[in-house]
Amino acid sequence: MPLKDRNTIDIITKPLPGDDCKLVLLIVDDGTVEDEVERYRFLIDKLRAYLEFVGSAEFRNKHPGIGFADVLVRVLCKVPANQAIQDMQTIGPKGDSRNRLRLVFEDYDGFVDKLKLQKCSSRNASAPLSLLSQGFWNPPSNCEELVRFPGSPGTCC
């Protein structure tokens, strides 16, 4: 999903082995925004939308018992992130350490390779990866849902 699409939570999934969280929200920076200042602004807007989503009643209803500290936002970058983007570690209201989301930035292709190598649990036969390369994700069974942010067109998958 492009960074410009603020109204879509790209992917909600369970954590990978080694992730210190209960839920992972993915953002795909597909590399279509070439201007670095514009890219940074779009990313901040999208991260704010993720923050609003995790604080929403809809999120609490779908994911009871999971709070801000339990969520990791993984940003997958097709084009390497600049230093200003890489320096971001959390996002949330100033002075409010409880309502912050942790951020991790990863190379898109490296992440895809990591998924290909990952052995799936008995619940998952394999991690299918026609992933994102054509702008779509064929979610593995551990992927909970692809959602639209409240108020956006379309329906939840």
* Res 118: pLDDT: 64
pLDDT higher for 147 or 10? 10
pLDDT at 135 over 50: no
Mean pLDDT (whole number) for 29-33: 92
CA distance 114 to 108: 10
What the block records as the tokens of 100 is: 């912050």
Of residues 128, 137, 136, 80, the one with CA closest to residue 108:
80
Q: b vs e for 19-41, b when ≥16 Cβ sit within 10 Å of the residue's Cβ?
A: eebebbbbbbbbeebeeeeebbe
Q: In the structure, what pLDDT confidence band is assigned to residue 103 with cuts at 50, 70 and 90?
A: very high
How many percent of the chain have pLDDT more than 70?
73
What is the pTM for the complete model shown? Answer: 0.76
* Res 1: pLDDT: 58
pLDDT tens digit string along 56-83?
999 999 999 999 999 999 999 999 999 9
Q: What is the mean pLDDT of the chain?
A: 78
